[in-house]
Chain A
Protein backbone atom coordinates (compact mmCIF):
# COMPACT_ATOMS: atom_id res chain seq x y z
CA UNK A 1 0.00 0.00 0.00
CA UNK A 2 1.47 3.35 -0.98
CA UNK A 3 -0.33 5.19 1.80
CA UNK A 4 1.17 5.57 5.24
CA UNK A 5 -0.60 3.61 7.93
CA UNK A 6 -3.61 5.45 9.25
CA UNK A 7 -2.26 7.76 11.91
CA UNK A 8 -3.97 9.11 14.98
CA UNK A 9 -3.79 12.60 13.49
CA UNK A 10 -5.56 11.50 10.38
CA UNK A 11 -8.36 9.87 12.34
CA UNK A 12 -8.74 13.03 14.41
CA UNK A 13 -8.73 15.23 11.34
CA UNK A 14 -11.33 13.13 9.58
CA UNK A 15 -13.53 13.22 12.69
CA UNK A 16 -13.18 16.94 12.98
CA UNK A 17 -14.05 17.40 9.31
CA UNK A 18 -17.07 15.15 9.70
CA UNK A 19 -18.22 17.32 12.61
CA UNK A 20 -17.83 20.45 10.52
CA UNK A 21 -20.05 18.97 7.85
CA UNK A 22 -22.93 19.13 10.32
CA UNK A 23 -23.06 22.84 9.51
CA UNK A 24 -24.42 22.17 6.00
CA UNK A 25 -28.18 22.06 5.42
CA UNK A 26 -29.69 18.67 6.18
CA UNK A 27 -30.55 17.66 2.62
CA UNK A 28 -27.06 18.47 1.36
CA UNK A 29 -25.49 16.65 4.30
CA UNK A 30 -27.55 13.52 3.79
CA UNK A 31 -26.60 13.41 0.17
CA UNK A 32 -22.89 14.17 0.31
CA UNK A 33 -21.39 13.71 3.79
CA UNK A 34 -19.92 10.28 3.14
CA UNK A 35 -18.49 11.31 -0.24
CA UNK A 36 -16.99 14.47 1.22
CA UNK A 37 -15.42 12.58 4.08
CA UNK A 38 -13.86 10.16 1.61
CA UNK A 39 -12.49 13.05 -0.41
CA UNK A 40 -11.13 14.64 2.73
CA UNK A 41 -9.42 11.44 3.82
CA UNK A 42 -7.83 10.89 0.42
CA UNK A 43 -6.65 14.47 0.23
CA UNK A 44 -5.30 14.27 3.78
CA UNK A 45 -3.30 11.14 3.01
CA UNK A 46 -1.82 12.62 -0.09
CA UNK A 47 -0.96 15.96 1.56
CA UNK A 48 0.65 14.26 4.50
CA UNK A 49 2.61 11.84 2.31
CA UNK A 50 3.93 14.62 0.11
CA UNK A 51 4.58 17.45 2.53
CA UNK A 52 4.04 16.10 6.02
CA UNK A 53 2.73 18.53 8.63
CA UNK A 54 3.04 21.51 6.29
CA UNK A 55 0.88 19.73 3.73
CA UNK A 56 -1.73 18.95 6.36
CA UNK A 57 -1.82 22.57 7.49
CA UNK A 58 -2.23 23.77 3.91
CA UNK A 59 -4.97 21.27 3.33
CA UNK A 60 -6.84 22.39 6.42
CA UNK A 61 -6.58 26.03 5.48
CA UNK A 62 -7.86 25.37 1.96
CA UNK A 63 -10.66 23.10 3.09
CA UNK A 64 -11.67 25.34 5.94
CA UNK A 65 -12.00 28.30 3.59
CA UNK A 66 -14.01 26.14 1.19
CA UNK A 67 -16.14 24.98 4.09
CA UNK A 68 -17.04 28.45 5.35
CA UNK A 69 -17.85 29.72 1.87
CA UNK A 70 -19.96 26.80 0.74
CA UNK A 71 -21.86 26.42 4.02
CA UNK A 72 -23.15 29.95 3.47
CA UNK A 73 -23.97 29.24 -0.16
CA UNK A 74 -25.79 25.98 0.52
CA UNK A 75 -27.84 27.51 3.35
CA UNK A 76 -28.84 30.47 1.24
CA UNK A 77 -29.79 28.14 -1.59
CA UNK A 78 -31.85 25.82 0.56
CA UNK A 79 -33.52 28.79 2.21
CA UNK A 80 -34.51 30.20 -1.15
CA UNK A 81 -35.78 26.85 -2.36
CA UNK A 82 -37.97 26.61 0.70
CA UNK A 83 -39.30 30.06 -0.09
CA UNK A 84 -40.50 28.61 -3.38
CA UNK A 85 -38.35 31.00 -5.37
CA UNK A 86 -36.55 29.55 -8.29
CA UNK A 87 -33.39 31.49 -8.64
CA UNK A 88 -32.01 29.38 -11.42
CA UNK A 89 -28.52 29.88 -10.18
CA UNK A 90 -26.98 27.69 -12.82
CA UNK A 91 -23.82 27.21 -10.87
CA UNK A 92 -23.29 30.82 -10.00
CA UNK A 93 -21.32 30.92 -6.78
CA UNK A 94 -21.50 34.69 -6.59
CA UNK A 95 -25.28 34.66 -6.51
CA UNK A 96 -25.05 36.78 -3.38
CA UNK A 97 -27.77 37.16 -0.82
CA UNK A 98 -29.88 39.36 -3.03
CA UNK A 99 -33.49 39.00 -3.88
CA UNK A 100 -34.65 40.17 -7.25
CA UNK A 101 -36.55 43.41 -7.19
CA UNK A 102 -39.99 43.74 -8.61
CA UNK A 103 -40.11 46.44 -11.27
CA UNK A 104 -43.19 48.49 -12.02
CA UNK A 105 -42.60 49.99 -15.45
CA UNK A 106 -44.54 52.55 -17.47
CA UNK A 107 -43.50 54.21 -20.71
CA UNK A 108 -44.97 56.70 -23.12
CA UNK A 109 -43.98 58.84 -26.05
CA UNK A 110 -45.88 61.80 -27.47
CA UNK A 111 -45.44 63.94 -30.54
CA UNK A 112 -45.79 67.19 -28.55
CA UNK A 113 -47.49 70.33 -29.83
CA UNK A 114 -45.15 71.72 -32.46
CA UNK A 115 -43.65 68.85 -34.41
CA UNK A 116 -45.21 67.04 -37.36
CA UNK A 117 -43.52 63.73 -36.63
CA UNK A 118 -42.41 61.87 -33.53
CA UNK A 119 -38.73 61.09 -33.87
CA UNK A 120 -38.37 59.67 -30.35
CA UNK A 121 -38.27 55.96 -29.66
CA UNK A 122 -38.13 53.87 -26.53
CA UNK A 123 -37.97 50.30 -25.34
CA UNK A 124 -38.27 48.51 -22.00
CA UNK A 125 -37.14 44.94 -21.55
CA UNK A 126 -37.83 43.02 -18.35
CA UNK A 127 -37.05 39.41 -19.34
CA UNK A 128 -39.77 36.93 -18.42
CA UNK A 129 -37.17 34.19 -18.24
CA UNK A 130 -35.91 34.36 -14.67
CA UNK A 131 -32.55 33.00 -15.77
CA UNK A 132 -32.05 35.77 -18.31
CA UNK A 133 -33.28 38.38 -15.83
CA UNK A 134 -30.82 37.08 -13.27
CA UNK A 135 -27.97 37.07 -15.75
CA UNK A 136 -28.57 40.28 -17.73
CA UNK A 137 -31.08 42.34 -15.75
CA UNK A 138 -33.72 44.68 -17.15
CA UNK A 139 -32.94 47.21 -19.88
CA UNK A 140 -34.52 50.58 -20.67
CA UNK A 141 -33.58 52.70 -23.67
CA UNK A 142 -34.72 56.11 -24.90
CA UNK A 143 -33.55 57.75 -28.10
CA UNK A 144 -34.26 61.10 -29.74
CA UNK A 145 -33.68 61.02 -33.49
CA UNK A 146 -32.73 63.86 -35.79
CA UNK A 147 -32.20 64.32 -39.49
CA UNK A 148 -35.47 65.55 -40.99
CA UNK A 149 -37.55 63.82 -43.67
CA UNK A 150 -38.55 61.12 -41.13
CA UNK A 151 -34.95 60.06 -40.89
CA UNK A 152 -34.72 60.89 -37.22
CA UNK A 153 -37.47 58.39 -36.63
CA UNK A 154 -35.46 55.72 -38.42
CA UNK A 155 -32.29 56.55 -36.52
CA UNK A 156 -33.94 56.41 -33.08
CA UNK A 157 -35.80 53.19 -33.94
CA UNK A 158 -32.52 51.61 -35.04
CA UNK A 159 -30.84 52.86 -31.87
CA UNK A 160 -33.27 51.35 -29.35
CA UNK A 161 -33.66 48.11 -31.29
CA UNK A 162 -29.94 47.57 -31.77
CA UNK A 163 -29.01 48.42 -28.19
CA UNK A 164 -31.51 45.82 -27.03
CA UNK A 165 -30.29 43.18 -29.46
CA UNK A 166 -26.61 43.71 -28.82
CA UNK A 167 -27.01 43.94 -25.08
CA UNK A 168 -28.87 40.65 -24.69
CA UNK A 169 -26.71 38.86 -27.24
CA UNK A 170 -23.52 39.80 -25.45
CA UNK A 171 -22.67 37.02 -23.04
CA UNK A 172 -19.85 38.69 -21.18
CA UNK A 173 -20.20 38.93 -17.44
CA UNK A 174 -19.21 42.57 -17.37
CA UNK A 175 -22.62 44.26 -17.53
CA UNK A 176 -21.50 47.91 -17.81
CA UNK A 177 -19.03 47.13 -20.58
CA UNK A 178 -21.68 45.12 -22.42
CA UNK A 179 -24.01 48.10 -22.17
CA UNK A 180 -21.44 50.55 -23.52
CA UNK A 181 -20.54 48.14 -26.30
CA UNK A 182 -24.20 47.75 -27.25
CA UNK A 183 -24.51 51.52 -27.70
CA UNK A 184 -21.29 51.63 -29.72
CA UNK A 185 -22.63 48.86 -31.95
CA UNK A 186 -25.89 50.75 -32.39
CA UNK A 187 -23.82 53.79 -33.37
CA UNK A 188 -22.07 51.77 -36.06
CA UNK A 189 -25.42 50.51 -37.36
CA UNK A 190 -26.75 54.06 -37.73
CA UNK A 191 -23.48 55.20 -39.28
CA UNK A 192 -23.55 52.37 -41.81
CA UNK A 193 -27.19 53.11 -42.65
CA UNK A 194 -26.11 56.68 -43.45
CA UNK A 195 -23.26 55.42 -45.56
CA UNK A 196 -25.49 53.05 -47.49
CA UNK A 197 -27.92 55.86 -48.30
CA UNK A 198 -25.09 58.13 -49.40
CA UNK A 199 -23.81 55.37 -51.66
CA UNK A 200 -27.27 55.30 -53.25
CA UNK A 201 -26.90 58.97 -54.07
CA UNK A 202 -28.57 60.66 -51.11
CA UNK A 203 -25.53 62.81 -50.44
CA UNK A 204 -27.22 64.85 -47.72
CA UNK A 205 -28.34 61.77 -45.80
CA UNK A 206 -27.20 62.33 -42.29
CA UNK A 207 -29.41 60.96 -39.60
CA UNK A 208 -28.44 60.79 -35.96
CA UNK A 209 -29.89 60.04 -32.56
CA UNK A 210 -29.25 60.49 -28.88
CA UNK A 211 -29.26 57.38 -26.77
CA UNK A 212 -29.66 56.82 -23.08
CA UNK A 213 -29.82 53.28 -21.73
CA UNK A 214 -30.18 51.97 -18.19
CA UNK A 215 -29.71 48.45 -16.88
CA UNK A 216 -30.98 47.32 -13.49
CA UNK A 217 -29.05 44.26 -12.41
CA UNK A 218 -28.31 42.82 -9.01
CA UNK A 219 -29.13 45.98 -7.02
CA UNK A 220 -27.10 48.17 -9.33
CA UNK A 221 -28.04 50.76 -11.88
CA UNK A 222 -25.82 51.14 -14.93
CA UNK A 223 -26.65 54.13 -17.08
CA UNK A 224 -24.92 54.96 -20.35
CA UNK A 225 -25.57 57.90 -22.64
CA UNK A 226 -24.75 59.78 -25.79
CA UNK A 227 -26.39 63.19 -26.27
CA UNK A 228 -28.92 64.98 -24.10
CA UNK A 229 -31.49 62.33 -23.18
CA UNK A 230 -31.29 61.66 -19.47
CA UNK A 231 -31.55 59.22 -16.59
CA UNK A 232 -32.74 60.51 -13.21
CA UNK A 233 -33.10 58.64 -9.95
CA UNK A 234 -35.57 59.54 -7.24
CA UNK A 235 -34.16 58.24 -3.96
CA UNK A 236 -35.84 58.98 -0.63
CA UNK A 237 -37.57 62.05 -2.01
CA UNK A 238 -34.41 63.44 -3.64
CA UNK A 239 -34.22 63.69 -7.41
CA UNK A 240 -30.81 63.42 -9.01
CA UNK A 241 -29.75 63.55 -12.62
CA UNK A 242 -27.51 60.51 -13.13
CA UNK A 243 -26.24 61.15 -16.66
CA UNK A 244 -24.44 64.27 -17.91
CA UNK A 245 -25.68 65.77 -21.18
CA UNK A 246 -23.37 66.10 -24.14
CA UNK A 247 -24.88 69.44 -25.03
CA UNK A 248 -23.52 72.92 -25.54
CA UNK A 249 -25.65 74.34 -22.75
CA UNK A 250 -24.52 71.64 -20.29
CA UNK A 251 -20.92 72.72 -20.97
CA UNK A 252 -21.83 76.36 -20.42
CA UNK A 253 -23.59 75.49 -17.15
CA UNK A 254 -20.60 73.46 -16.04
CA UNK A 255 -18.30 76.41 -16.74
CA UNK A 256 -20.60 78.64 -14.74
CA UNK A 257 -21.33 80.85 -17.75
CA UNK A 258 -25.09 80.30 -17.59
CA UNK A 259 -27.50 78.94 -14.98
CA UNK A 260 -29.54 75.75 -15.46
CA UNK A 261 -32.64 77.94 -15.81
CA UNK A 262 -30.97 79.99 -18.57
CA UNK A 263 -30.00 76.77 -20.31
CA UNK A 264 -33.67 76.03 -20.98
CA UNK A 265 -34.09 79.16 -23.10
CA UNK A 266 -30.55 79.50 -24.47
CA UNK A 267 -30.29 79.79 -28.26
CA UNK A 268 -27.96 76.75 -28.38
CA UNK A 269 -30.20 74.59 -26.20
CA UNK A 270 -30.74 72.09 -29.01
CA UNK A 271 -27.10 71.60 -29.92
CA UNK A 272 -25.43 68.39 -28.86
CA UNK A 273 -21.82 67.45 -29.48
CA UNK A 274 -22.17 63.70 -29.35
CA UNK A 275 -24.74 61.52 -31.10
CA UNK A 276 -25.15 58.14 -32.75
CA UNK A 277 -24.40 58.00 -36.48
CA UNK A 278 -20.72 58.99 -36.26
CA UNK A 279 -17.72 56.87 -37.29
CA UNK A 280 -16.91 56.58 -33.63
CA UNK A 281 -18.66 57.62 -30.45
CA UNK A 282 -17.67 57.94 -26.82
CA UNK A 283 -20.24 56.51 -24.42
CA UNK A 284 -20.28 57.73 -20.81
CA UNK A 285 -21.17 55.32 -18.06
CA UNK A 286 -22.61 55.90 -14.61
CA UNK A 287 -22.92 53.23 -11.96
CA UNK A 288 -24.72 53.35 -8.67
CA UNK A 289 -26.55 51.13 -6.20
CA UNK A 290 -30.35 51.02 -6.27
CA UNK A 291 -32.61 50.35 -3.35
CA UNK A 292 -36.13 49.27 -2.82
CA UNK A 293 -38.38 52.32 -3.21
CA UNK A 294 -36.15 54.09 -5.73
CA UNK A 295 -37.62 55.33 -8.99
CA UNK A 296 -35.77 55.53 -12.27
CA UNK A 297 -36.73 58.05 -14.95
CA UNK A 298 -35.47 58.07 -18.52
CA UNK A 299 -36.51 60.92 -20.79
CA UNK A 300 -35.72 62.92 -23.89
CA UNK A 301 -35.03 66.65 -23.81
CA UNK A 302 -38.63 67.22 -24.90
CA UNK A 303 -39.45 66.57 -21.27
CA UNK A 304 -36.39 67.80 -19.37
CA UNK A 305 -36.12 71.09 -21.28
CA UNK A 306 -39.61 72.20 -20.29
CA UNK A 307 -40.51 70.36 -17.07
CA UNK A 308 -38.31 71.55 -14.24
CA UNK A 309 -36.57 69.10 -11.95
CA UNK A 310 -38.72 70.13 -9.01
CA UNK A 311 -41.89 69.42 -11.02
CA UNK A 312 -40.50 66.12 -12.18
CA UNK A 313 -39.69 65.14 -8.61
CA UNK A 314 -43.11 66.11 -7.27
CA UNK A 315 -44.96 64.23 -10.02
CA UNK A 316 -42.99 61.01 -9.77
CA UNK A 317 -43.15 61.07 -6.00
CA UNK A 318 -46.89 61.64 -5.96
CA UNK A 319 -48.00 59.17 -8.62
CA UNK A 320 -47.29 55.58 -9.59
CA UNK A 321 -45.34 54.95 -12.82
CA UNK A 322 -48.36 54.71 -15.13
CA UNK A 323 -49.91 57.95 -13.96
CA UNK A 324 -46.52 59.60 -13.73
CA UNK A 325 -45.73 59.18 -17.43
CA UNK A 326 -49.16 60.52 -18.36
CA UNK A 327 -48.87 63.54 -16.09
CA UNK A 328 -45.28 64.24 -17.18
CA UNK A 329 -46.23 64.29 -20.84
CA UNK A 330 -49.31 66.39 -20.16
CA UNK A 331 -47.11 68.85 -18.24
CA UNK A 332 -44.62 69.10 -21.12
CA UNK A 333 -47.48 69.82 -23.50
CA UNK A 334 -48.94 72.42 -21.14
CA UNK A 335 -45.59 74.16 -21.34
CA UNK A 336 -45.92 74.39 -25.09
CA UNK A 337 -44.83 70.89 -26.10
CA UNK A 338 -42.06 72.28 -28.33
CA UNK A 339 -40.55 68.87 -29.02
CA UNK A 340 -41.45 65.19 -28.95
CA UNK A 341 -41.75 63.99 -25.36
CA UNK A 342 -40.74 60.57 -24.09
CA UNK A 343 -40.56 59.12 -20.59
CA UNK A 344 -40.00 55.76 -18.97
CA UNK A 345 -40.66 55.52 -15.23
CA UNK A 346 -39.54 52.42 -13.31
CA UNK A 347 -40.33 51.89 -9.65
CA UNK A 348 -38.21 49.41 -7.77
CA UNK A 349 -39.92 47.45 -5.02
CA UNK A 350 -39.03 44.36 -3.07
Chain B
Protein backbone atom coordinates (compact mmCIF):
# COMPACT_ATOMS: atom_id res chain seq x y z
CA UNK B 1 0.00 0.00 0.00
CA UNK B 2 1.34 3.41 -0.84
CA UNK B 3 1.21 5.93 1.92
CA UNK B 4 -0.98 8.34 0.02
CA UNK B 5 -3.98 7.14 1.95
CA UNK B 6 -2.18 7.30 5.25
CA UNK B 7 -1.43 10.93 5.28
CA UNK B 8 -1.53 10.98 9.07
CA UNK B 9 0.95 9.13 11.25
CA UNK B 10 -1.94 8.12 13.52
CA UNK B 11 -3.32 5.86 10.79
CA UNK B 12 -0.40 3.48 11.39
CA UNK B 13 -0.86 3.19 15.14
CA UNK B 14 -0.51 1.18 17.22
CA UNK B 15 2.88 -0.11 16.07
CA UNK B 16 4.02 -3.65 16.71
CA UNK B 17 6.77 -3.97 19.32
CA UNK B 18 9.28 -4.85 16.58
CA UNK B 19 8.47 -1.79 14.47
CA UNK B 20 8.51 0.50 17.50
CA UNK B 21 11.91 -0.79 18.64
CA UNK B 22 13.42 -0.52 15.17
CA UNK B 23 12.21 3.08 14.87
CA UNK B 24 13.62 3.86 18.31
CA UNK B 25 17.00 2.37 17.49
CA UNK B 26 17.19 4.45 14.31
CA UNK B 27 16.16 7.63 16.11
CA UNK B 28 19.79 8.54 16.82
CA UNK B 29 21.23 7.75 13.43
CA UNK B 30 21.42 5.15 10.69
CA UNK B 31 22.23 1.54 11.50
CA UNK B 32 22.50 -1.84 9.80
CA UNK B 33 20.40 -4.86 10.74
CA UNK B 34 22.67 -6.42 13.31
CA UNK B 35 23.33 -3.10 15.01
CA UNK B 36 19.56 -2.60 15.33
CA UNK B 37 19.17 -6.07 16.83
CA UNK B 38 21.99 -5.48 19.28
CA UNK B 39 20.66 -2.16 20.42
CA UNK B 40 17.14 -3.49 20.93
CA UNK B 41 18.53 -6.43 22.91
CA UNK B 42 20.66 -4.22 25.14
CA UNK B 43 18.03 -1.55 25.68
CA UNK B 44 15.36 -4.03 26.70
CA UNK B 45 17.77 -5.96 28.91
CA UNK B 46 17.44 -8.98 26.63
CA UNK B 47 13.66 -9.10 27.07
CA UNK B 48 13.01 -8.36 23.41
CA UNK B 49 14.79 -10.93 21.28
CA UNK B 50 14.20 -10.01 17.70
CA UNK B 51 15.32 -12.64 15.21
CA UNK B 52 16.41 -11.92 11.62
CA UNK B 53 13.01 -12.94 10.20
CA UNK B 54 11.12 -10.49 12.39
CA UNK B 55 13.74 -7.83 11.79
CA UNK B 56 13.75 -7.98 8.00
CA UNK B 57 10.03 -8.72 7.74
CA UNK B 58 9.42 -5.51 9.69
CA UNK B 59 12.03 -3.59 7.72
CA UNK B 60 10.38 -4.66 4.48
CA UNK B 61 7.03 -3.28 5.61
CA UNK B 62 8.54 -0.14 7.07
CA UNK B 63 10.24 0.61 3.75
CA UNK B 64 6.92 0.12 2.01
CA UNK B 65 5.14 2.39 4.47
CA UNK B 66 7.78 5.05 4.02
CA UNK B 67 8.93 4.98 7.66
CA UNK B 68 12.55 4.26 6.78
CA UNK B 69 14.79 4.31 3.73
CA UNK B 70 17.96 2.48 2.84
CA UNK B 71 20.98 4.65 3.37
CA UNK B 72 24.10 4.00 1.34
CA UNK B 73 25.46 0.49 1.59
CA UNK B 74 28.85 0.32 3.25
CA UNK B 75 31.14 -1.76 5.40
CA UNK B 76 31.07 -1.60 9.19
CA UNK B 77 34.58 -1.78 10.63
CA UNK B 78 33.38 -3.40 13.85
CA UNK B 79 31.65 -6.29 12.10
CA UNK B 80 33.88 -7.51 9.30
CA UNK B 81 34.46 -6.19 5.80
CA UNK B 82 31.22 -7.08 4.07
CA UNK B 83 29.11 -4.29 2.77
CA UNK B 84 25.84 -3.97 4.63
CA UNK B 85 22.62 -2.16 4.15
CA UNK B 86 22.07 0.75 6.47
CA UNK B 87 18.66 2.14 7.26
CA UNK B 88 17.57 5.54 8.45
CA UNK B 89 14.34 7.22 9.56
CA UNK B 90 12.34 9.36 7.15
CA UNK B 91 10.52 12.48 8.28
CA UNK B 92 7.31 10.49 8.18
CA UNK B 93 8.91 7.74 10.26
CA UNK B 94 9.93 10.31 12.83
CA UNK B 95 6.37 11.64 13.02
CA UNK B 96 4.97 8.13 13.40
CA UNK B 97 7.43 7.43 16.20
CA UNK B 98 6.43 10.66 17.95
CA UNK B 99 2.74 9.87 17.57
CA UNK B 100 3.27 6.38 19.02
CA UNK B 101 5.28 7.76 21.92
CA UNK B 102 2.48 10.21 22.66
CA UNK B 103 -0.09 7.44 22.53
CA UNK B 104 1.94 5.33 24.95
CA UNK B 105 2.39 8.32 27.23
CA UNK B 106 -1.38 8.70 27.38
CA UNK B 107 -1.76 5.02 28.21
CA UNK B 108 0.75 5.34 31.02
CA UNK B 109 -1.14 8.33 32.33
CA UNK B 110 -4.36 6.32 32.38
CA UNK B 111 -2.55 3.50 34.20
CA UNK B 112 -1.27 6.02 36.72
CA UNK B 113 -4.68 7.54 37.25
CA UNK B 114 -6.15 4.10 37.80
CA UNK B 115 -3.28 3.31 40.14
CA UNK B 116 -2.36 0.23 38.19
CA UNK B 117 1.25 1.17 38.75
CA UNK B 118 1.28 2.81 42.19
CA UNK B 119 5.06 3.27 42.17
CA UNK B 120 5.00 5.16 38.92
CA UNK B 121 4.07 8.47 40.46
CA UNK B 122 7.26 8.53 42.44
CA UNK B 123 9.45 7.28 39.64
CA UNK B 124 12.84 8.85 39.78
CA UNK B 125 12.37 9.84 43.40
CA UNK B 126 12.81 6.37 44.82
Contacts and interface: CB of A to CB of B under 8 A. Distances in A.
A175 interface: no
Contacts of B10: 171
Contact of B33 (A38, A67, A91, A171): A38
Interface in B76-118: 79-80, 82, 84-85, 103, 107
A67 to B, nearest CB: 6
B63 to A, nearest CB: 10
Contacts, number: 97
B56 A35 contact: yes
A282 interface: no
Contact of B1 (A39, A70, A88): A88
Contacts of B52: 32, 35-36, 39-40, 63, 66
B51 A70 contact: yes
B104 to A, nearest CB: 11
Which 10 interchain pairs have the tightest Cβ spacing? A66-B51, A70-B53, A36-B52, A91-B19, A32-B56, A42-B34, A39-B34, A66-B53, A39-B52, A88-B1
Contact of A129 (B5, B57, B61, B65): B5
A75 B14 CA distance: 23
Contact of A93 (B34, B54, B56, B84): B54
A39 B54 contact: no
Contacts of A132: 11
A173 interface: yes
B16 A39 contact: no
B78 to A, nearest CB: 9
A51 to B, nearest CB: 12
Contacts of B37: 39, 43
A218 to B, nearest CB: 15
Interface string B1-22: 1000110001111111011000
A74 B53 contact: yes
B62 interface: yes
A42 B18 CA distance: 20
Contacts of B34: 38-39, 42-43
A310 interface: no
Contacts of A38: 33-34, 79-80, 82, 84
B87 to A, nearest CB: 10
A253 B76 CA distance: 75
A76 B27 CA distance: 30
A192 B51 CA distance: 51
Given A24-B53, A70-B53, 11 more contacts: A35-B32, A35-B52, A35-B56, A36-B56, A39-B52, A42-B80, A66-B50, A70-B57, A90-B65, A91-B18, A129-B5
A74 B52 CA distance: 13
A131 interface: yes
B51 A35 contact: no
A131 B54 contact: no
Interface in A56-89: 62-63, 65-67, 69-71, 73-74, 86, 88-89
Contacts of B15: 91
Contacts of A93: 16, 18, 54, 57
B103 A28 contact: no
B20 to A, nearest CB: 9
Contact of B57 (A73, A88, A131, A171): A73
A92 interface: yes
B54 A70 contact: yes
B58 interface: yes
B18 A63 contact: no
A66 B1 CA distance: 25
A320 B37 CA distance: 53
A31 interface: yes
Given A65-B51, A93-B54, A31 B1 contact: no
Nearest to B51: A66
A28 B12 contact: no
B29 to A, nearest CB: 19
A119 B108 CA distance: 40
Nearest to B15: A91
